[in-house]
Amino acid sequence: MQPAHDAPAHEAPAHDVLIVGAGFGGMGAAIAFKRLGIDNIAILEREDDLGGTWHVNHYPGLAVDIASVTYSYSFEPNPNWSRLFAPGPELKRYAHHVADKYDLKRHMEFQTTVDGAEWDDTARLWRVRTGDGTERTARYLVTATGFLSQPHVPDFPGIKNFQGTILHTAAWQDGFDFTGKKVAVIGTGATAVQLIPEIAERADALTVFQRTPIWVVPKIDFAIPSPVQQLFRRIPLTQRAARLVNTSLLEMLMVFGVLHFKQFKPGNKLAAGLGKAHLRSQVPDPELRRKLTPDYDFGCKRPTFSNTYFPSFTRPNVTLETSGIARLEADGILAGDGTKTEIDTLVLATGFNLWDVNFPAFEIIGREGRDLGKFWREGRFQAYEGVAVPKFPNFISLNSPYSYSGLSYFTTIEGQMKHITRLFGELRRRGRDTFEVTEAANADFLDEATRRLQSSVFYNGDCTTSRSYYFNQHGEATLLRPASTLRTLREMDSFPLSDYAFR
């Protein structure tokens, strides 16, 4: 006789697979399932369109910071990128193209927020609560809610009294005209680096409030001439070759500069030297240069590229403020040193909250009442192969600790698609409907990731002042998978099937 928990489940779920998030991650997962012949898929998305990051972010200056030949699905190259680093709207068009070509749109339901999900171990399905109070059931749950998807709005003293316009970069007012405006930008992350030059050109006055400087290296960018686009279209192998070259360069940066910092420190120092030389060539004032120079190692937090960021600070209408923010008033900001800057527009380029309100993006309760958010916060952040967690049967979490692999997010997605394909192929081969990663496999993966990360810049470099979102609230750098892209892809395709229990 089979044990009770192996008995066939009687309640038929509404969906085979429920995916939360219609960005590139969720779409990649859906493509993997459809290739397996699984078509009863619902993709729930809280926004009013697909594209994830590339739908939500539409601030001026938005562009990819990984060359577009690499920042795309390898199986769906796009010969139409207009530039080496495509502007944001092209990414959104690409997302629509993929959704059309792979017939994903009919699975998508927009403005549908998921509030929570609970595993029902008797019926062996997920019960998913949406914002309108309804319940959905699905045999398998996939969260594709992104890493940088919960905007961070710091609670600055007095912000409620501010009478002017407040814009967060992730909730942009299209067409907002900065002409004649007195503007403050808070934040100097990768988003601000793209946005500040755009505002500096138009605003009457711009004050940038910087807490931590960012490493910026030159951006080699150009329009892709139409003969090259035609070549990519006619002979796809040429675009594959371009992708291979670019991906290999990025890979070297990641593997040697970030993951093997301990062994290849001089390479990392060279990158910092390049950033300093770039700054020197663009900013003549030594005091301004000093303020814009990071005092943490290159790679502790995501560096960026720009040729227009540093020169913005040499314009007469732009001021860099580094003494902090004491409070906001109705018509301005009082800086830490007591100076008041009058403004009518406040731009929050303050990024996203990963570790408190994401991971996971909503309440997820697994077997025996295990709460995923509590499990990660009260214990350690962990996920087998960056996708599975013990006591969470039939659950694939795409934005997990140790899931981010390579520098392009598409590397992560395609590795996860391989994992889904192998896992669900085995499920079918065994004639089972339920999987769960074992505690032992998860513990081994965590130990190995922890061990391998010991060589990284996060633990060998000087990251103390970096305030990097790569580190969680326990001080552990648990975002990146410490492996080369090739290794990750190989492991996702060949993990021991005995790492899962099937029923």
Structure tokens at 253: 């940066």
Site for ligand NAP in 185-204 (CB under 6 A): 186-192, 194
| Euclidean distance between CA atoms 365 and 299, whole angstroms | 35
Stretch that binds ligand NAP, among 17-25, 221-229, 271-279, 348-356 (CB under 6 A): 348-356
Residues 467-496: x/- map of binding to ligand NAP (CB under 6 A)? x-x---------------------------
Find how far residue 380's CA is from the centre of its chain.
20
Among 211, 315, 428, 429, binds ligand NAP (CB under 6 A): 211
| Euclidean distance between CA atoms 427 and 435, whole angstroms | 7
| Euclidean distance between CA atoms 164 and 168, whole angstroms | 13
* Beta carbon nearer to ligand NAP, 321 or 499: 321
CB of 347 to ligand NAP, least distance (A): 11
Structure tokens at 321: 């403020």
| Euclidean distance between CA atoms 262 and 256, whole angstroms | 9
The residue whose Cβ lies closest to ligand NAP is: 189
* Beta carbon nearer to ligand NAP, 212 or 421: 212
Number of amino acids touching ligand NAP (CB under 6 A) = 22
Nearest in space to 54 (alpha carbons), one of 67, 46, 44, 64: 64
Among 202, 265, 302, 432, binds ligand NAP (CB under 6 A): 302
Stretch that binds ligand NAP, among 58-66, 124-132, 160-168, 329-337 (CB under 6 A): 58-66
- Residue 292 is a binding residue for ligand NAP (CB under 6 A): no
- Residue 465 is a binding residue for ligand NAP (CB under 6 A): no
For the range 85-89, what are the long-range contacts, defined as Cβ-Cβ under 8 Å and sequence gap of 24 or more? Answer: 85/219, 85/221, 85/305, 87/62, 87/63, 88/54, 88/57, 88/58, 88/62, 88/63, 88/64, 89/58, 89/62
Residues 105-124: x/- map of binding to ligand NAP (CB under 6 A)? --------------------
Residues 139-178: x/- map of binding to ligand NAP (CB under 6 A)? ---------x-----x------------------------
CB of 339 to ligand NAP, least distance (A): 16
CB of 91 to ligand NAP, least distance (A): 9
| Euclidean distance between CA atoms 395 and 138, whole angstroms | 10
Nearest in space to 195 (alpha carbons), one of 169, 221, 176: 169
- Residue 205 is a binding residue for ligand NAP (CB under 6 A): no
- Residue 350 is a binding residue for ligand NAP (CB under 6 A): yes
Written as one letter, the residue type at 57 is: N
| Euclidean distance between CA atoms 205 and 199, whole angstroms | 9
* Beta carbon nearer to ligand NAP, 324 or 369: 324
Nearest in space to 59 (alpha carbons), one of 351, 272, 269, 404: 351
* Beta carbon nearer to ligand NAP, 319 or 450: 319
| Euclidean distance between CA atoms 398 and 380, whole angstroms | 18
Site for ligand NAP in 214-273 (CB under 6 A): none
| Euclidean distance between CA atoms 484 and 406, whole angstroms | 7
CB of 156 to ligand NAP, least distance (A): 7
* Beta carbon nearer to ligand NAP, 140 or 471: 471
Q: What residues line the site for ligand NAP (CB under 6 A)?
A: 63-65, 148, 154, 186-192, 194, 211-212, 302, 325, 349-351, 467, 469
